[in-house]
Copies of this chain bind each other. A is one copy, B any other.
Amino acid sequence: MSASRKRSGATSIDVAALAGVSQSAVSRAFTPGASITEEKQQRILEAARKLNYVPNSIASSLTTKRSNTVAVILGNLDNPFYVHVLQAFVDALQAQGRQVFTFTSKHGETIDELIDRVLRYQVDGAILTAAQLSTRMANICHDRDVPIVLFNRYVPGSDASVVRCDNYGGGRLMAEAFLAAGARTFAMIKGDPMGTTSQDRVRGFTERLLEGGIGRGDILEIEGASVYDGAFNGVLERFGTDRAALPDAIFGINDIMAMGAMDALRQRFDLGIPEDVMVGGFDDIPEGARWPYRLTTVRQPIDLMVDATLDMLGLDDPTHVTEPGIDRQIPSQMVWRDTIPRD
C-alpha cells in the first residue's frame, strides 16, 4: 500500500492519540513495572496492537544510554569449539533480553576498525574470542565504560579482563595421562603460533613431560594452524610413509586437530588407536565424542566460562566497575574415552 520508502510505522504519539492518553503513558505501558493502572495499560496495548506499533529501541537507547546489545567477536568458526561458544553466548544473552552483534575477524586482520564499529553502536559490552585489542582501543573502551572481556586469550603486558580455561594445567594433565600410559616419545600439533591458548597448552604439556624425564628431542612439534586440515596434512607431511618415525603419543592442542591427526594416522598407516599410537585432544567438543573418534581429551567447561564472562561484564549491575587486570582461570579436567589406554 504505502509507496513511501521511509521506515514508517506508528510511533508512541500515534498510539497515545488513538488511546486518548499522553505519550508518556504509552511509554509506561511498555515499561515493565512502571506506574500505570491496569485498565489504562490495556487500553494502550490495545491501541498499539491496532496500529501495529512496535517500540523503537534505538530511540530509547538514546536516552537511557543502554542499548541492551553485546558484541561477540569471533575468529574462525572452522573450529567447532567456537561455534559452541557462540551458541552459548547467544542463548544466554538472548535469555537476558539482550541482542548479540556478531563480528568475525579474519586472522591477522587489525581489529581496531572492528572495535570502532562496535563502539559506534553503543554496545553495553564486548566479548573477544579472537583478535587482539590495541592499547589505544582498550583505553577508549575504558573511557566510555564499555566493559570488554577477553575469552580464552590475554595480552601479556595488559590489564584487560580475561576469562580462560586453565590451558597450562590442561596441557600438564594430558602429559601426565600419556606418561601414565607408558608413552616415551611424543608429538604435539600446535595451533595459532601467536595465540596464548596454544602456547600455554604447549608449555604445560612440554614442562610436565620434561619433569617426567622425557628429553626435548623426544617431543616433536607440528604446526596445525588450529584446523582439521592443518593437522591432517601436518602429520602426513611430517611422517611421510615412515611409520617408524611415529611417536608413542600425539597431542592435538585442540580436538578438531586431534581428529585430523587420527584420520591421517588411520588413512596413511592404517594404525590402531590407541594400540599403535595414542592421541589426546583439548576442548571436549561433542564431535570428538563420536564413534570414529571417542577422543580422550581435556574439557574446557564452556558453561562455566560463559557464565564467568557474563558475570565479569556486569551488565545488570549499573554500579559495576569492570576491574582491570582480572584473570579468571577456570580449571580444566580430563575426560577419558578410548584414545589413551588407562590402567
Contacts and interface: CB of A to CB of B under 8 A. Distances in A.
**Oligomeric state, in number of copies?**
2
Nearest to A104: B90
A33 to B, nearest CB: 18
Contacts of A119: 54
Interface stretch (A36-44, A61-69, A177-185, A276-284): A61-69
Contacts of A2: 143, 145
A56 B117 contact: no
A90 B103 contact: yes
A220 interface: no
Nearest to A89: B102
A151 B117 CA distance: 27
B99 A117 contact: yes
Interface in A302-338: 318-319, 321
A134 interface: no
A179 to B, nearest CB: 29
Contacts of A99: 101, 103, 117, 121
A66 B3 CA distance: 17
B103 A94 contact: yes
Contact of A83 (B4, B83, B228): B83
B66 A291 contact: no
A36 to B, nearest CB: 20
Nearest to A146: B7
Nearest to A57: B120
Given A103-B90, A119-B54, A122-B58, A7 B292 contact: no
A16 B181 CA distance: 69
B67 A77 contact: no
A69 B57 CA distance: 13
Interface string A140-151: 100111100000
A91 B104 contact: yes
A100 interface: yes
A52 interface: yes
A116 B54 contact: yes
Nearest to A114: B94
Nearest to A260: B290
A31 to B, nearest CB: 13
A341 interface: no
B122 A57 contact: yes
Given A100-B102, A101-B99, A7 B122 contact: yes
A29 B319 CA distance: 35
Interface string A210-232: 00000000000000000010001
Contacts of A3: 321
A207 to B, nearest CB: 33
Contacts of A91: 104
A4 B5 CA distance: 41
A112 B80 CA distance: 30
Interface string A1-12: 011111111000
A119 to B, nearest CB: 5
Given A8-B144, A267-B292, 11 more contacts: A2-B143, A5-B318, A7-B144, A52-B140, A54-B140, A57-B121, A57-B122, A77-B84, A83-B83, A86-B102, A90-B104
Closest 3 pairs (CB-CB, A-B): A57-B120, A9-B144, A102-B102
